[in-house]
Structure 1
Amino acid sequence: MTTPLDLPAPSRTARPCEAVAGTAAPRRRRVVALDLMRGYYVAILAAVHLDYLPSLLGDVDGRGSLLVSEAENFFMISGLLVGMLRRRDLERHGAARMARNSWRRAGQLYLVAVALTLLYTGIGRVATAHGHTDVKAGLNSGSSPLGVLGQAATLRYTYGWADFLTFYVPMFLLVPVAIWLLSRRLAAVIVLLAYAGFVLPSRTDTGFLSPFLQWGIYFFLGMAAGYHWDDLRRLAGRLPPITRRGARVALVIAAVVIYAAGTVLLYHPELTSGPVYNELFQDNRLGLLRPVLAAISAAGTYLLIRHFERPLARTIGWVLLPLGRNSLYVYVAQSLVIFLIPLAFGPHGFWFNTSVDLAIIVAIWCAVRIRFLAFLLPGA
């Protein structure tokens, strides 16, 4: 069984899926480039969330404050893989099976997310009672246990560094509707609705719905691309070779420029102080052009990694591939580690902070290899 963060991806050589319900579709294999990307994103999240600066990974990852963050690209890849697999379900087994698979995934994530919120709330309250001041912000320290349970169960309260799991739940509940629209060539409707939801939190008070609306745009953008993955490959294959190469080069260059520009702005915040920049790119990650930049960045990064896929898989792949192929397990495990570390010690110098970041990645990698406590996570 797979999870939304651990979905198998199609091979680059897979033919367009033409199976109808009840007919076996061609077997698909994983796309190594996507596993490499997911492995990097989920590994770097520890450094982003721990935020012990200065550090090597803190400089590389942009401290989560670039024009496009790892989280945005990660949501987009998750949606892309969901679009691929749910289309396969639809064509192999029909709409009912497709919907059941999506809602089962939502239920699994819901149980894990609520349990983690309760766990971290309990740890946070105990730590606070013992005088610790470095507990993660957002702790509900006033409600009764039943009150906390009720808020967590209705997704109005999430706590800890695994809160993205909560955001996925309503997305997976809506996946069957999105697949139905995509099957009727209404991808534009999905994108427009998701973008309208993205804009709402910066225009009006959307309360506890804000994070679901904020991250939904990336998931459903990726889902539309994933559903039409084979169609897009066919379309690209019909382009003249020089046009196809030019488009690929342009996307790669654009992705590099987006990352480089974000890094420059990170170290020169005076360039980002104007209202125009805040409206278009930042505004607490609600800048109007951020989804556009994220789509360009994800596409360009994929093409770049795809080009160097074999040497990357032979070198750093031994670290990143296990992380990318077990990303739910990695995400949950690192959330526990970085929640507890500030209770033990704080940041020091560059080399100490860098060592802590790398030690977390090594520890999680080892846990993945030996499958330590993997039985607690569905399909991890």
Structure 2
Amino acid sequence: MVTLDLMRGYYVGVLAAIHLSYVPSLLGLFDGRGGLLVSEAEGFFLISGLLVGMLRRRDLEQHGLPRVARNSWQRAGQLYVVAVTLTLLFTWIGRVALAHGRTQVKVGLDDHSTPLTLLVNALTLRYTYGWADFLSFYVPMFLLAPLAVWLLSRRLAPLMLLLAYAGFLLPSYFDTGSCSPFLQWGVYFFLGMTAGFHWDDIRRLMSRMSPAPRRALRVGLVVATLLIYAVGMVLLYHPTLVSASGTYDHLFQNNRLGLLRPLLAPVSVAGTYLLVRRFEEPIARTAGKVLLPFGRSSLYVYVAQSFFVFLVPFVFGPRGFWFNTVFDLSVIAAILLGVRTRFLAFLIPRA
């Protein structure tokens, strides 16, 4: 699905620039560096869930729930191995860097546990480290995917979404420890799964609508998406407009745990989908030369960018506009080269 590949390619392609946040830069003028009302990460989790919902429904209809469980748990196992390996590798690099006087290591480094304790904590996912930590969040999502498919097949989508949103709320009111990232990001994954499972149903529903209401719905989603982006950009560059508002922080920010963010994200992703779908052909011919390979090898791109984000601060920090812009583009070019040549791709499961 070209439109989804283009969107996923953008979401994962700018992660290195967002995580490094070397601003000012050309990309930094419009990508929000993760500070908008809907972030690229939320969109990426939504699309991931959407694709899983599509695939697992096909498994369910053709082979039954055992195949759904097998494929989901196999994927969980693959991501688990990669996530634990990268945590241990980045921890080792971070400890070596500290031992040599480097202080630019990513926060959260376990620099004191014994090797055995470190290994146990990494294997149980109580400790994750590095810039590929999303992989460990995906593991429980894929473990629970068969249950989600079963609920969706029993027309219990409202119950599943209610549970997902309740989980999203928990870290704001209780100490959920190492489960917090899964609860925070899981709501987007399961929202996407619901849409993906009912993808054909949604398309049939849209096709049965008369032209005027269908057009109004499409235009409304696109306008809402543009407003969400515009408001986010205004507040990003003029934070004093809401700096004294605890309500705004509670509803929309709060370290991305704002209560209304899971409601804005599906609207934004749906409107973006309609926009990209409308201009799919020219986008594919131009920016798609980068976005499509990224979208179709998203796991490879995500892991590759994690090394750039982790290692580059040891060498240099942000500088002027043009230097930062060239650097952002150079990272994207280097990762594209890796995708094209499949450099070390045998170490990473396919996206």
Shorter chain as normaliser: what TM range? Answer: over 0.9
Hey, what does 1:104 align to over in structure 2?
74
Which one is further off, 268-277 or 104-113? 268-277
Stretches of 4+ aligned residues off by more than 4 angstroms: none
Quick one: distance in 2 between partners of 1:266 and 1:174?
36
Hey, what does 1:215 align to over in structure 2?
185
Alignment of 1:228-247 (within 5 A): 228-247=198-217
1:379 Cα deviation (Å)? 2.2
Is residue 2:86 matched to residue 1:126? no
Of 282, 289, 298, the match for 1:311? 282
Alignment of 1:64-103 (within 5 A): 64-103=34-73
Is residue 2:328 matched to residue 1:343? no
1:191 Cα deviation (Å)? 0.6
1:53 Cα deviation (Å)? 1.3
1:252 Cα deviation (Å)? 0.5
1:283 Cα deviation (Å)? 1.0
Q: 1:109-158: per-residue Cα shift (whole Å, max 9, x none)?
A: 00000000000000000011111111111111010111111111111111
Quick one: distance in 2 between partners of 1:379 and 1:280?
36
Secondary structure of 1:192's aligned partner: helix
1:101 Cα deviation (Å)? 0.4
1:58 Cα deviation (Å)? 1.8
Matched to 1:348, the amino acid is R
Of 130, 139, 159, the match for 1:160? 130
Is residue 2:325 matched to residue 1:366? no
Matched to 1:80, the amino acid is L
TM-score w.r.t. the length of structure 2 is 0.99
Alignment of 1:132-281 (within 5 A): 132-273=102-243, 274-281=245-252
Q: 1:204-235: per-residue Cα shift (whole Å, max 9, x none)?
A: 11111111100000000000000000000000
Identity of aligned residues (%): 70
1:32 Cα deviation (Å)? 0.5
Q: 1:51-110: per-residue Cα shift (whole Å, max 9, x none)?
A: 111111122211111000000010000000000000001111111111000000000000
Alignment of 1:295-310 (within 5 A): 295-310=266-281
Quick one: distance in 2 between partners of 1:282 and 1:337?
27
- The number of equivalent residue pairs is 350
Matched to 1:252, the amino acid is V
Matched to 1:239, the amino acid is M
Matched to 1:92, the amino acid is Q
Secondary structure of 2:253's aligned partner: coil
Of 5, 21, 43, the match for 1:51? 21
Matched to 1:48, the amino acid is I
Of 316, 321, 328, the match for 1:357? 328
Hey, what does 1:289 align to over in structure 2?
260
Give structure 1 stretches of 5+ with no counterpart.
1-30
Secondary structure of 1:127's aligned partner: helix
1:39 Cα deviation (Å)? 0.5
Matched to 1:112, the amino acid is V
Of 44, 60, 73, the match for 2:30? 60
Matched to 1:187, the amino acid is A
Quick one: distance in 1 between partners of 2:113 and 2:27?
37
Matched to 2:204, the amino acid is R
Which one is further off, 79-88 or 138-147? 138-147
Q: 1:318-340: per-residue Cα shift (whole Å, max 9, x none)?
A: 11100000000000011011111
1:315 Cα deviation (Å)? 1.1
